Amino acid sequence: MTDLSSFPIARQRPPMFPDRIQLYSLPTPNGVKVSIMLEETGLPYEPHLVSFDRQEQLSPEFLALNPNNKIPAIIDPHGPNGEPLALFESGAILLYLADKAGMFLPADPAVRYEAIQWLMFQMSAIGPMFGQVGFFHKFAGKDFEDKRPRDRYVAEARRLLAVLDQRLSGRQWIMGDEYSVVDIATFPWVRNLIGFYGAGELVEIDRFPQVTRALQAFVSRPAVVRGLDIPQRQ
C-alpha cells in the first residue's frame, strides 16, 4: 500500500484509498476544473472537501501542500519516477493530468503550445476578470456606491467574451473539433459568470452566441455533470 504519511495533510486526513490521486478542493470554478478533468480521464482519485467556511485552507497541514492557501491541490501517489508528487495551481494540475492520461492535450508540439497559450488566457484573464465581476456584482462590492470599479470589470469581461466568441467561430471547441483541457479550464468560469454570479444580463451574454453554444455542449457532458458537484459541500 502507498504510504503518503510524509504529507501533513494526509496525516490529518488519512486517505481511504492512498493508491489514488488525492484531490483537495471545493466546487468553485477553479476547483471543478480538476474534478471534471479527473472524471473525463477516468484517472482514479479520492476527493477531500476543503471548507473555506471553517478556514481549512489556512491550516498548517493544507499550507504545507499549498503555501498560497488556495484550492485545488493534489497528491499523486504515482508521480514521475514512481514517487509521490504534490501540485497546486489548477492550470499546472490540468497539464499534469493531461500528460498522465495522454488525453485532452494535442500531441503535436506546435498545437500543444497553442493549447497552452489559450489555457494561459483563461488563467491570466478570464478567471481573474470574471471573479472581479462576481465581487462587484454579487458580493461585498455590490454595496459600493461608486460603480466605476464594477463597470471597468464588466467592460473587460465583455471584451474577453468577444475574444472567446471570435475564437469559437467556425470551431466546435476552443482548439477546433477536439474537446481539450482548454475547454475544461474555461467553461466553468463562463458558467459561473452567468449562473452563480447572475451577471449574464450585465455582460450582455446574448451578444456571444458561440460562447453560449459551446457552454451548453460543455455542461451536457456526463463527466462535467458529475465533476461540477465534486467534492460535495457538507
pLDDT tens digits, residue range 27-76? 999 999 999 999 999 999 999 999 999 999 999 999 999 999 999 999 99
Give, in order, the Cα–Cα distances in Å from 132 to each of 129, 136, 158. Answer: 5, 6, 13
Q: Which domains, and CATH codes, for the chain?
A: 8-103 (3.40.30.10), 109-221 (1.20.1050.10)
Per-residue burial over 205-233, b if 16 or more Cβ lie within 10 Å, else e, is: beebebbbebbeebeebebbeebbebbee
Q: State how beta strands 73-76 and 45-49 pair.
A: unpaired
Give dist(CA 156, CA 130) in Å, integer.
9
Residue whose entry in the numeric block shows the C-alpha cell 500543444: 112
Q: What is the mean pLDDT of the chain?
A: 97
Does residue 3 register a pLDDT over 90?
A: no
User: Which grid cell sits at 90?
Assistant: 489548477
Q: For 89, left (φ over 0), alpha (ψ -120 to 50), or beta? A: left
Cβ atoms within 10 Å, residue 133: 24
45 forms beta bridges with 21
CA 11 to chain centre: 26
Whether this model's pTM surpasses 0.75: yes
pLDDT for 2 equals: 84
pLDDT for 1 equals: 62
Does residue 115 register a pLDDT over 90?
A: yes
Give, in order, the Cα–Cα distances in Å from 27 to each of 30, 124, 144, 219. Answer: 8, 20, 28, 15
Residue-wise pLDDT tens digits, 179-219: 999 999 999 999 999 999 999 999 999 999 999 999 999 99
pLDDT for 192 equals: 98
